[in-house]
Structure 1
Amino acid sequence: MTLHNADHVVVVAGALYDRGRLLAARRSAPPELAGRWELPGGKLEPGESAEKALVRELREELGVETEPGERIPGEWLLKPGYVLRVWTARLVSGEPAPLEDHDELRWLGRDELGSVDWLDVDRPAVDAVAARLWPAPARDA
């Protein structure tokens, strides 16, 4: 099933999770987004599955091999005609480096997620990822 259709372009992002931390990437381009943080990823190519696109994009942007995990429920409008869909991803090999569109990477723990200036469109996605990766502890009755 392809997620690319005439109505919108799907942008896939990876919630790259390793040793209890989530990877954040600071944009270096375009100018209106530079300096703000996002979950790394990119556009689906026609006929490409979301999982394959995620692996390809993380390889191109970060120089790492990853394994897609579960899709985070929901999708977020990036701009007219573009929607963001997020998957968890596991680092298989390599050390992430900012190769394309980013100038800095940071591994963030649960209580550090607010320490970077996330892109507005990424904030709800990051919140959804955090709820999935770090569920709230059960309360004693």
Structure 2
Amino acid sequence: MVLVVAAALIDGDGRILMHQRKLGTALGGLWEFPGGKVEVSEDPYSALIRELAEELGIEVEARDLHYLDQSSEPENPHVIMLYMCRSWTGEPLCLAGEALAWVRPDDLLGLEMPPLDVPLARTLISSI
């Protein structure tokens, strides 16, 4: 099993930051919640803090990450854990993907997303 952590960064206007995967990679061009794999020596919070710094150049504290839900499929070895976050330091930059977009909750499911992100997006919409 591959454990993946992701963040739903929500700004003051209620928009959600989405990250477009690099073209030419697995699921390239699809939109996802920023995050990445948990390394062997990490807990989910530490991994997400590291991934957000690497992918977006922002700083997040563990107390600002609130677990929301997880997604998996029997035929897929990945499990994604989604955390909500409304507070961070720095302006998110696209350091590891094609693009970033601030998306209104009503428009979120209109994006092309990896299959494991779709149920997480539905849960997020119903909880904000």
Q: TM-score range by the shorter chain?
A: 0.7 to 0.9
Q: State the distance in 2 between where 1:32 and 1:95 align.
A: 27
Size of the aligned set, in residue pairs, is 125
**TM-score for the superposition, normalised by structure 2:** 0.86
Q: State the distance in 1 between where 2:119 and 2:79 align.
A: 13
Equivalent residue for 2:122, pick from 117, 124, 127? 127
Equivalent residue for 1:92, pick from 88, 94, 97? 88
Equivalent residue for 2:71, pick from 75, 78, 81? 75
Q: State the distance in 2 between where 1:46 and 1:119 align.
A: 24
**TM-score for the superposition, normalised by structure 1:** 0.79
Match of 1:14 in 2: 7
Rg larger for: 1
Equivalent residue for 1:49, pick from 37, 43, 51? 43
How far apart are residue 79 of structure 1 and its match? 6.2
Q: State the distance in 2 between where 1:33 and 1:75 align.
A: 17
Q: 5+ residue gaps in structure 1?
A: 1-7, 134-141
Q: Which runs of 4+ in 1 moved over 4 A?
A: none
Q: State the distance in 1 between where 2:74 and 2:43 align.
A: 20
Q: CA RMSD in A?
A: 1.9
